[in-house]
Amino acid sequence: MFLSLTGILIVALLGTLLETARFTACADHAARTTRMAADTLMTEYHRPLYDNYGLFFIESKGIPFETVIAKYSGDTLEAASGRSMDFFQGELRGVEIKDKVFVGDHKAEPLQKEIESFMLRRLTQKQLKKFTDQSEEAVSTNTTAEQIEASVEEQRKEAKLDSRWVELIGLIDGIHISGGKITCANEFVKMFVTGEKKSQNFGITNANVWKKMKKKLDDTPREFKHINKNTFKKRIQNVLKLTETAIKKVDQLRSDYQKIGYDEAEFSNRSSKITSLENMSSALKTNERILKKTAEILGQKLTKEKKETLSGLWKDYTTSQPVFDYTGVGEQESAQDPQESLKASWKDGILNLVCEDVSKLAKGEVKNEDSFAQQNNAQDQEKGGYTEKSKSLVKEETVELSGAIKDVSGCAMGDFCLNSYIMDQLPGYGEVIREWKPSLTYQWEYVLAGKKTDRENLEAVLNRILLIRSAVNFAAIYQDEAKKTEAYMTAAALVGFTGMDALIRLTQTMILITWSVVEGLVDVAGLLNHRHVPLTKKPGEILTKYTEIFQITSAAITKRAGRYPKETKTSFGYREYVMVFLALTKKETKRYRIMDLIQWDMKKNGYESFDLGMCVYSICVSADYVFPSKFFHFPSIQQMLQRKIREYPYHTEILRHYA
């Protein structure tokens, strides 16, 4: 009896240990079965997507993932059926996909991971360093661009004040000068003659100006006996309004000069101008008083006594003050404005100037750009902009050269992988198109610009390069004294006043910038034609002569570009500029635009039902299993445990993803 009881206890203990060990093994088997089923599911990745883009993703379409995983899991479990003592015989009770991570989720981070996995097999840190080192010199042009902008802004501030002096000249002396031509208004503040009709009595020292002004003068104040009351009264009223306007402008200009700090070198003659404006204001206010009194008298019956009063009143009317500097006016020959020439040539944009044959450019177009970014509420707010900047530079003379290129030293390996993938797997301008038909031919450019058409995307990139090249060229041209002199002579002829130095200097600078832009067009044409365009230039490397600034045609520009030598392996060409621009573009912007291109191309190549947005990168699988007990079926064990254990449930969750 004792031995029987002892044996039963030993058997029960051994059975319990065996069953516990078995359940542990069953739990591992359930996890392994689920993992294998999920992995098997993910081997059903979209093959054309991998073949053409090297990316592993599976479409969440057709048979539900749960059904597929249940089938694969069932196949594994059924392998033990029919063998009653198989330790791993069990049953799948339920499968659920608790989470799917799609390619566009988390700012398209899954796409980034797949691309990194694909590209890290090809790229090294050494290649990244080579790229950053090569780009360093190009990035330095942004500092040059910022300096140009700052200089132009300072010149524009003073020139803006000088331009208000020109307004005063028109009000007070009636003189207007444009393109070297002098005209005089019919009415102006100093139009009344009170003494001898000599130029010095009107503060005019230039014969060309005096010749025009003399014809418009009114002799009435010299002899009121023969006055035409109505005509004179009307003129007095008009001149009074001009005088009041001139006083307001003089006082405002004086106030603005007083706000300028003494340490601002651009305004070194500030004090003398303030003194001149104070004297001008005093003279104008005296004349204003006389004009008002005259208007009052002319409103009454004009008796002999009134005429005598007018004669005495007008003795204090001054025309010798204020005095403006007309040195050189009318002496220069009329000059052609390079800026106007560039404006006229720019009407059809940059492509018509830098491409030998615009008709050969790709004509691809899509209906809805940035579609994946819109779906994920991640549209790029800085989209485009460079075409508008170039247009403003040419049309509105708004100098915004900086920002087209920035520091890329912080470019990480992940960014480099993404950018290299774009350059290697997608076509761009000048690349050989493979058999796989692209929706847009210039896909690098789409990633950068996000426009609907090939031409718009290429135009945006070329305008961005143009801004960089214009800054580089300006730095070289500004070092050349001969070129600066040519620009100054044209500026003096255009503005008409050597006395208005700020206006001349600003005009000179804008001519030099125009020269730089035209040379920039030559550079862009050279880059498109695979020529070696120096990253930075010396004055002697500027191909465009001053006379050629006015020859802004595709034929002239591409011909000059042909003087550059053919590019070499060390050249910083169009491809390198694109690579730098990609490094400066937001990662999520690039990812979503890659998705756009893949989606469009897949559909164009016969996969009409393909939806990249529904492609899955990772899944979280939840599965429930039950395993029948084996050893717990023994009556002795059930009695010892005081309960019947028929089966053991097991719950497992696993996360599986590509890369």
pLDDT digits (tens, 9 = 90+) for 75-87: 887 765 555 456 6
* Cβ 596 vs Cβ 371: under 8 Å: yes
Check residue 390 and give its pLDDT: 86
Nearest to 491 by CA among 503, 477, 483, 476: 503
Lowest mean per-residue pLDDT among 75-79, 183-187, 272-276, 466-470: 75-79
Distance, in Å, from the CA atom of 421 to the CA atom of 424, rounded to the nearest integer, reads: 5
Indicate the burial class of 272 (C-beta count within 10 angstroms; 0-12, 13-18, 19 or more). exposed
Residues 6+ apart with CB under 8 A from 657: 101, 110, 617, 618, 619
Lowest mean per-residue pLDDT among 133-147, 527-541, 635-649: 635-649
What are the structure tokens assigned to 141, written together?
A: 């042009």
Which residue's structure tokens are 């990812």? Answer: 591
Residue type at 615 in one-letter notation: C
Burial 515-526 (b: 16+ CB within 10 A, else e): bbbbbbbbbbbb
DSSP 297: H
Burial 45-69 (b: 16+ CB within 10 A, else e): bbeebeebbbbbbbbbeeeebbebb
* Cβ 175 vs Cβ 330: under 8 Å: no
Check residue 283 and give its pLDDT: 92
| Measured CA distances, 638 to 12, 213, 317, 392, 626 (Å) | 9, 126, 129, 90, 19
Does position 628 have pLDDT exceeding 60, yes or no? yes
Lowest mean per-residue pLDDT among 20-29, 210-219, 324-333: 324-333
Which residue's structure tokens are 């490397």? Answer: 541
Beta-carbon count within 10 A of 406 CB:
13
**152 band by pLDDT with thresholds 50, 70 and 90:** confident
Helix residue ranges per DSSP H, 434-573: 443-449, 454-477, 481-495, 501-528, 554-561
Check residue 498 and give its pLDDT: 47
Residues 6+ apart with CB under 8 A from 578: 423, 428, 444, 445, 448, 461
Q: Give the rounded percent of residues in the chain with a pLDDT score beyond 70.
A: 88
What are the structure tokens assigned to 78, written together?
A: 């059924």
Which residue's structure tokens are 């309004």? Answer: 241
Helix residue ranges per DSSP H, 43-104: 47-53, 65-78
Q: What is the DSSP secondary-structure string of 233-270?
A: HHHHHHHHHHHHHHHHHHHHHHHHHHHS-TT-GGGTTH
CA 125 to chain centre: 29
**504 band by pLDDT with thresholds 50, 70 and 90:** confident
Q: What angle in degrees, to the nearest 10, is found between the helix axes of 501-528 and 574-583? A: 110
Q: Is 626 helix (H, G, I), strand (E, B) or coil?
A: strand
Does position 319 have pLDDT exceeding 70, yes or no? yes
Distance, in Å, from the CA atom of 510 to the CA atom of 338, rounded to the nearest integer, reads: 9
Residues 478-484 have a mean pLDDT of 92
What are the structure tokens assigned to 21, written together?
A: 């060990």
Does position 331 have pLDDT exceeding 70, yes or no? no
Distance, in Å, from the CA atom of 325 to the CA atom of 102, rounded to the nearest integer, reads: 73
Residues 326-343 have a mean pLDDT of 75
Check residue 457 and give its pLDDT: 95
Check residue 383 and give its pLDDT: 52
Check residue 17 and give its pLDDT: 63
Distance, in Å, from the CA atom of 412 to the CA atom of 410, rounded to the nearest integer, reads: 6
Residues 304-322 have a mean pLDDT of 87
Does position 382 have pLDDT exceeding 60, yes or no? no
**What pTM was computed for the model?**
0.81
Distance, in Å, from the CA atom of 145 to the CA atom of 590, rounded to the nearest integer, reads: 26
